[in-house]
Amino acid sequence: VVWCCCVRRVSESGLQQLNEITIFKFESLTSRFYSISILLQGFRSEVLFPSPLPLILLLVLVIFFFNLHLLMMDSDEMTPTKTTPTLIFLCVMAIMGGFPIGYFTTIISGAMLIIQSQFLLDDQWLQIIVSTTVAAAAIFALLGGWFNQRIGRKKVILVSCLFYIIGCIVISVATNKEAIVAGRFLHGIAIGLSSCTIPPYLAECVPTNIRGRLLIMFPVLIAFGQWAACIFAASLSYLRDKNCSWRIMFGIGGIPVLIKLFGFPFMPESPRWLVSKGYIDEAFKVLKSIYGKTDKGIALAQMNINSMTEVDHAEESHAGKRECILFKLLRNRASRKALIVGCALQIFQQLSAVNVVMQEKYYYNNDDFSFVIVNFFN
């Protein structure tokens, strides 16, 4: 929450003092750092969620979309006055990408209780199966920026959906431990690509007055996916046919991804990416469908196109000057404080080592870990 507030405060006030190229680079850097920090958290999952959690999450979603409508109706002259169908559909399809991240990184905790006994896995294979997804996600999260710039945000998200589906199929029909590792690796690729693509995609498409709220909903859906994984793992573990129960656990996670796979092709490409590739007319059509075809919406779309074009021209003029973006941001007073505070929060969270405890307890279900802790304090 503090991280989102820091970024939102800078994006709404401090960045008004910066030029457009610095704003774009700040948002790109913070979104990448936030995505990687999610991966470094070890995707911890609490199996014993409180019972009111689903109602709370549902209430959060209802309040979010209600506030979204009110916020658009109570906008100023620089923001749209109404929510368009394209904007609503874009928001729903994009934030749905957080669900499989939470689901597939948590479902392994319940599935491994059955897989370990069925395939007679030792501790080494147990660690390989569990950690393969996190390792692949971390690698492809770092490579995601290059793919985003090359083929576009929309195509990267579609590719991640395909990896989700293929990974579910591979694991569901697996007859040996090597196939399970392969499926988990495919899921890791999908998680890495989607986690570093969906937040920038939302930031580049939606109006600025609702951008912060939409980005917050992405980790909310990750938490919802973790809760759903715990529920399905606990329910399916009671099936008599244990050989089918863990396969169904992974198969169920592919259902929302399949829905998203069929719905996302109808969504527009990022207007920021279209402008960077020279597709000005296409970017204008996308923004007009998001902001609305009213006079105000068309004016806002044209204003954003002009701003993006200026950013591209500025980047081309500075193409020969190789200077680290981080150093530029640190020299700027408006962005330095929020950037340092936000990054420090994520760094100290990882250095606290809480993720080691959470991963050992809820990923591996390792009783030996508890034995080590008890003997350490004795």
Name the token pair of 95. 């934030």
Burial label for 102, CB within 10 Å (0-12, 13-18, 19+), is buried
At 119 the three-state DSSP class reads coil
Query: Against a cut of 0.85, is the pTM above it?
Result: no
DSSP 268: P
Of residues 308 and 66, more confidence is placed in 308
pLDDT confidence band for 54 (50 / 70 / 90): low
Whose tokens are 């469908």? That residue is 289
Domain boundaries, the chain: 2-377
Q: What are phi and psi of 278, to 5 degrees?
A: 90, 5
Q: Which residue has the higher pLDDT, 155 or 109?
A: 155
Instruction: Give the tens place of pLDDT for each residue, 224-259.
Output: 888 888 888 888 888 888 888 899 999 999 998 998
DSSP state of 269: P
Domain 2-377 in this protein, CATH class: mainly alpha
Question: How far is it, in rounded angstroms, from Cα 248 to Cα 245?
Answer: 5
Q: Which residue has the tokens 């501790």?
A: 123
* Separation CA 253–CA 18 (nearest Å): 43
Q: How sure is the predictor about 40, in pLDDT bands with cuts at 50, 70 and 90?
A: very low
Contact of 133 with 191, CB cutoff 8 Å: yes
pLDDT recorded at residue 48: 37
Q: Could you read off the pLDDT of 130-187 as tens digits, one per residue?
A: 889 989 998 999 898 889 888 988 899 999 999 999 999 999 999 899 999 999 999 9
Give the pLDDT confidence of 288-316 residue by residue, as tens digits. Answer: 888 888 788 788 888 888 888 887 777 66
CA 176 to chain CA centroid, nearest Å: 31
Q: Are 170 and 158 in contact (CB under 8 A)?
A: no
Q: Which of 48-52, 277-281, 348-352 has the highest mean pLDDT?
A: 277-281
**Residues near 215 by Cβ (< 8 Å), separated by ≥ 6?**
4, 7, 199, 202, 203
More confident residue, 282 or 5: 282
CB atoms within 10 A of CB 17: 12
270: three-class secondary structure by DSSP: coil
